[in-house]
Amino acid sequence: MIRRFGVMGLWALAMACGLWLVTTEVAVHSELADLLPEGTTATQRLLLTQVRTGIAGRLMLLAIEGGEPEVLAQASREFGQRLRATGHFDMVGNGAQALTKQDQELLFRSRYLLSRHISPDAFSVDSLRRALEQRLDDLRSPLASLIKETIPGDPTGEFLGILKDWSGQEGPAKHRGVWMSGDHSKALLVAETTAAGFDADAQATVQQDIRKTFEALPGRPASLRLLMSGPGVFSVEIKQTIEAEVWWLSAAASTLVLLFLLASYRSVALVLLSLIPLSTGIVAGMLAVNSWFGFIHGITLGFGITLLGIVDDYPIHLFSHLNVRGSAPAVIRAIWPTMRLGVLTTVIGFSSLLLAGFPALAQLGLFAVAGLVTAALVTRWVLPACVPPAFVPRDVPRGIVPALAQLTRAKLLVPAAVILAAFALLWSDTPLWQTDLASLSPVSEAGQRLDQQLRRELGAPDLSDLLVIEGQTAEDVLQRGEAVMSQLEQLRASGIVAGYDLVSTYLPSRRSQQARQQALPARSVLEDNLQAALTGLPFASGLFTPFLEAIEAARTQPTLDRDTFHGTALGMKLAALLFEQQGRWIAVVPLRGVADRPRLSEAVEGWQAPGVAYVDLKAESNRLMTAYRDRTVAIVLWGLLVIAVVLAVGLKSIKVLWPVLLPMMSALVVVAALVNVAGESLSLFHVATFLLVIGLGLDYALFFNRPEGAGDERARTLYGLLVCSTTTILVFGVLACSTIPVLHAIGMTAAAGSFCCLLFAGMMAEKEPAEDV
């Protein structure tokens, strides 16, 4: 008696500590990026860095609709100005202002280092004469007033040339001074947040401020609506979806399980007792994951509730064997060997997830292993002590035994189902494997459509095609970038790509800048040339003194680098296009509108430019996914083998191994076919769930085939099994309703799998010895 209370007290203490730790220590994350692996190749690492912090990840696409073009334009201008003032953005573009005044001054000052047209010949008498004649034309044109003020300092037109070169990245069409969609129904804006796209909390704050700013626009007609898209918007949406879903899934699943247990055993005490191993298991799982990974992901938590559906098997096994004759401790001692084997195989299944090297799966695996082992141990050592001595669950209906015995007559249905499934898989139009990473994204379809539409209208780069230029130093990378500039321009001219954003377009290498300085003539030479060129032209005398002074200053001007532009809008752009990663310098060149990927890849290889490579990010990310899936498949197969060996040893017989293994393996084939027929392709997460199905199936088969005596005992076992599997199917069925693809995949596979396992195990169970007769 004292021992009983001692055990209960210890458990209560441990549970209290655990709960305290859960509330104080456990950090819940919802960012999808936290679940992504580190990547094994340099390209994959670059890809993941880009996804996490890159410029494309920080891009926010905005649109204002619901008004006349004039109203939209006015709102866009005002909105853009106010957004810039919030300090959340490196850049807010709406077409109204291409470069800030600060940027323009810096560019004007640096024009002789930045201009591509500077050569020794650029300041000869002939070249100057041609330039001056062009300036006269400019003065005659209706646009004279725009150009006039640059003429005395820049008669050769370098500054306007630089702006023209840069505007190669043409934006969307303008209407009423701002960017608008083709039909003038939407004013378009694009902003780069300072916060990383996958920092959902920071992004949520930014988006809230954006909405507030929009609401507060002075004189805003009520009909105007704001549309937002981009990775940051998605991460907030994902976080909200995960948080909301995890909550309602947990609530629905636990309610269903508790109600079902109550209905099956009509005993509140039994339900409360079952909660002991359940709650301990979940707390242990959370703590284990948190201490190993430093945080627990929302998706892991959502998955964690499904543990309810598996772990409740253990107390149910105990209760279903409890009768007037045997006390709880005696019963648990009797069924422990079978239970232990079941736990062991399930744990082997899940621990292989730890080896998959994919943080998302490793978290699920660790959670399950810790939860299951703890729950099993609590069922073995704590639960019997908590069961009141005279507690006996209600009698189970005895008719269950002959009813289930009928099932074995349908034994032949199992091979039939497997053959049918195999045919379904072979002839199905749905691809067997899911290779598109995007299909795992929980972003709503409407959201993805809006994103694509805005991206197309804005001509914003998406995360799919990149040129990567690598080098030891920033200077190396810039020189390599300059080397491929003309070839990139050819690609664009031939329509293979619609546009590109190369760092060298904005920032020449030091070598080029010095070459340009060398090409600038001495003042006396320039003065003579200018004088000769001006002969007969009606320019005012002394007009070009600023030009003479600017050239003289440029000859000794310090060269520009990435830091020169620090703190300007241009600086932000440069920092995103050229950065250091693990001791090497990398320039990423986002490509827009790639029309022909194979030809592009071929062309880039044909350049034979050192350190320059084309990366098809979509293909690369899908390759990454496929690699992990293949690894998971291998792990599942190895896990299966290990489980078979453990079983053979545990059951001390190879003969019994077949009826235990066969139903489960048949179930796997049928489930794969069911998923496929439902129009889904198998992803990494379906495969990982197979392990779960294996563990569950073995558990059922072990208990179905457990040699035990009287009909009453058998009825209790079978009733217990039915209850166990129904709760499992309920919980995973709830999970299958989730809109988060990962949870949906797990839920659907496991629900269908546990049903098939139960059915097949029943059909293929060994015939009972004729004791009842």
Partner 1 sequence: MIFGRPLRKAITGISFFLWLGSVALAAVDAPPAPWTVDALVALLKEQREPSMAFEEATYSSLLTEPLIVRGLLRFTPPATMEKAITDPFRERYVIEGERVLFESERKGIKRTISLEDYPALRGFVDAFRASFTGDAVQLQKVYAVTLEGTRRQWTLLLRPRETTGQSMVDYILFTGSEGRVATIAIRSQDGDRSVMTLFHGAPR
Name the site residues for partner 1 (rule: CB under 8 A): 134, 136-137, 139-146, 148, 151-152, 173-177, 538-541, 543
Least separation in angstroms between CB 301 and partner 1 = 52
Closer of 94 and 207 to partner 1 (Cβ): 94
Closer of 170 and 445 to partner 1 (Cβ): 170
**Cα 757 from Cα 665, distance rounded (Å):** 9
Q: In terms of C-beta density within 10 A (0-12 exposed, 13-18 middle, 19 or more buried), how is residue 181 classed?
A: buried
For tokens 């006996």, name the residue: 392
Task: Note the helical H segments in 173-312.
Answer: 200-215, 231-265, 268-293, 298-304, 307-311
Closer of 148 and 511 to partner 1 (Cβ): 148
Minimal CA–CA distance to 320: which of 270, 381, 380? Answer: 270
Closer of 39 and 152 to partner 1 (Cβ): 152
Least separation in angstroms between CB 548 and partner 1 = 16
Minimal CA–CA distance to 228: which of 236, 218, 239? Answer: 236
Least separation in angstroms between CB 139 and partner 1 = 5
Buried b (16+ CB within 10 A) or exposed e, 397-407: eeebbeebbeb
**Cα 550 from Cα 158, distance rounded (Å):** 12
Least separation in angstroms between CB 134 and partner 1 = 7
**Cα 76 from Cα 92, distance rounded (Å):** 11
Least separation in angstroms between CB 533 and partner 1 = 15
Distances (CA, A) of 351 to 642, 684, 723: 12, 16, 26
**Cα 668 from Cα 671, distance rounded (Å):** 5
Torsion of CA 605, 609, 615, 616, to 10 degrees: -40
DSSP single-letter state for residue 615? E
Least separation in angstroms between CB 152 and partner 1 = 7
Closer of 41 and 531 to partner 1 (Cβ): 531
Closer of 156 and 241 to partner 1 (Cβ): 156
- Joined tokens for residue 489: 């321009």
Closer of 166 and 539 to partner 1 (Cβ): 539
Closer of 524 and 541 to partner 1 (Cβ): 541
**Cα 537 from Cα 334, distance rounded (Å):** 112
Least separation in angstroms between CB 545 and partner 1 = 13
**Cα 773 from Cα 769, distance rounded (Å):** 9
Least separation in angstroms between CB 674 and partner 1 = 58
Closer of 151 and 375 to partner 1 (Cβ): 151
**Cα 580 from Cα 472, distance rounded (Å):** 9
Least separation in angstroms between CB 540 and partner 1 = 6
Least separation in angstroms between CB 27 and partner 1 = 51
* φ and ψ of 592, to 5 deg: -110, 145
- Joined tokens for residue 145: 């007033």
Closer of 134 and 653 to partner 1 (Cβ): 134
Closer of 540 and 770 to partner 1 (Cβ): 540
Sorted by sequence, the CB contacts under 8 Å of residue 58 that are 6+ apart come out as 90, 192, 193, 194, 195, 196, 197, 231, 232, 576
**Cα 318 from Cα 331, distance rounded (Å):** 7
Least separation in angstroms between CB 488 and partner 1 = 22
For tokens 């220590």, name the residue: 25
